[in-house]
A and B are shown apart, each in its own frame.
Chain A
């Protein structure tokens, strides 16, 4: 994928990609219809939050973008590359340009922080080098820079399992950054963190979006975090988009549309900083 490789600028920061979903539906093998005809366009460099009740299809939506969940019908286009139908090497190459972070951090707990961050280099490393445990000096340097950018450099040799939740999520962000991604996906990145840590991690993501001009998509439960850190909000309900507009000006009626009831104080995390 030479076209994709050429999007990396000399300074190591990738150019952002746009995302287009055209009438995307996902039906899981057990028959669950998780997405029904979802269409949306996300501009390169935008930061968008996706909200919705549990089971509304947020995780499914975000996973169709890097092909972890294949779209059953419709088209998913990321940075000019059609994800639908890609497999094998081509899919892995594309994923190399899409960073992802998870609610449960998904680190290998028994190995070092550095090894975890180097996972971000998989798509850019020949398999035999990984198998022989050979890390290029450039990759290591990049991993250290990414750790430094989330303030975790001093933990580089720590076991990932020995970190706190917030520290783990930062390492996971460093791992995704280490891919030099053009898109960053985040599936409820702060759902298992306390309020101050949640704000810190959201702040990191907003900063990455601003500094690196990276397209960022975040699934999130807390309305106030969605409003505070993103300008655009997409509301999902039963696998369909029921709101797509500015996060700040969403009305109570819009919330009722998304959550099936008026917004309540417990939907907010509060400014517990």
Chain B
């Protein structure tokens, strides 16, 4: 074998050095500008932070001494929160099936209906969950129901957006076969696209359940039931030892839910 080395002539790699530099410069400028109070930027009061440090340290100290005798009183609200999270996720899962099919191009070739569903979902997603909760508390009263509806709306937004995008990102050669066999779009969706996509759904359903436990913990602050309400109440009484117990409990529950959800997800193929 001859090992004569002819020099490889590589085509020059395209460089965008100027563009990169311009983007970095723009980002830096923007960041600096947003911190200039003179032109409406946020005011960073470093001196204030230092002054109030002791104050914060005190509270941290209290938080580090949880009063576990408070634990029994948290059980019922925690179960309420879990019920809210599970029911919200389950209802959203059911609603997300048809909505996602309407929002994704492979399952809905009709541009008009697709855009309408997407628009509604985007509006829904643009509203912060706390705002939903506040409005709903005003509408249906304090308790679990406004929390449940908030979680439902939030989950539908998350699942429909993520799953419809995942469906659009995947190959669907079998759709052509369904069309060639004379199938309607709904037949194709039900018999092939749904079985093909159900792991995408299941992943997001579990993810929305995880999010729900976390979110429902704070929804209580605006009166939407569950552990959050208790948290807000104890914080109002400056009972940081109780607050600490609640936070730890939320942490543990979230971790357990996440563990279960990860276990289930790893079984999805």
A binding-site residues for B, Cβ under 8 Å? 66, 68, 91-96, 98-100, 102, 104-111, 115-116, 118-123, 125, 127, 130-131, 133, 172, 175-176, 179, 185
Contacts and interface: CB of A to CB of B under 8 A. Distances in A.
B48 interface: no
A172 B196 contact: no
A123 B183 CA distance: 5
Given A68-B176, A102-B177, A175-B177, A111 B196 contact: yes
17 contacts: A93-B182, A94-B182, A100-B180, A102-B173, A104-B173, A106-B173, A107-B174, A108-B192, A108-B193, A119-B181, A122-B187, A123-B181, A123-B183, A130-B186, A133-B190, A179-B181, A179-B182
Contacts of B173: 102, 104-106
B182 A96 contact: yes
Given A94-B182, A122-B178, A185-B180, 10 more contacts: A95-B181, A100-B180, A102-B173, A106-B177, A111-B192, A115-B191, A116-B174, A123-B181, A133-B190, A176-B181
B184 A102 contact: no
Interface in B185-202: 186-188, 190-193, 195-196, 198-199
Given A95-B180, A119-B181, A122-B181, A130 B195 contact: no
Nearest to B174: A108
Contacts of A110: 195-196, 198-199
A108 B186 contact: no
A55 B190 CA distance: 34
Contacts of B110: none
A106 B181 contact: no
A175 B181 contact: yes
A115 B186 contact: no
Nearest to B194: A111
Most buried by A among B177, B190, B192, B195: B177
A109 B186 contact: no
Contacts of A122: 178, 181-184, 187-188, 191
Contacts of B196: 108-111
Q: List 7 tightest A-B contacts by C-beta distance, closest first.
A: A123-B182, A122-B183, A95-B182, A96-B182, A111-B195, A108-B192, A106-B177
Contacts of A94: 182
* Interface SS of B by simple majority: helix
B176 A102 contact: yes
A125 B187 contact: yes
Contact of B184 (A68, A116, A127, A172): A127
A76 to B, nearest CB: 15
A120 B181 contact: yes
Interface residues of B, number: 22
Contact of A118 (B176, B177, B191, B198): B191
B186 A131 contact: yes
Given A106-B173, A107-B174, A130-B186, A115 B180 contact: no
A19 to B, nearest CB: 15
A109 B196 CA distance: 7
B176 A119 contact: no
Contacts of A99: 180-181
B192 A127 contact: no
Contacts of A127: 184, 186-187
A231 to B, nearest CB: 25
A109 B186 CA distance: 19
Contacts of B186: 127, 130-131
Nearest to B195: A111
A104 B191 CA distance: 19
A109 B180 CA distance: 18
Nearest to A111: B195
Contacts of B182: 91-96, 122-123, 179
B76 interface: no
A104 B177 CA distance: 11
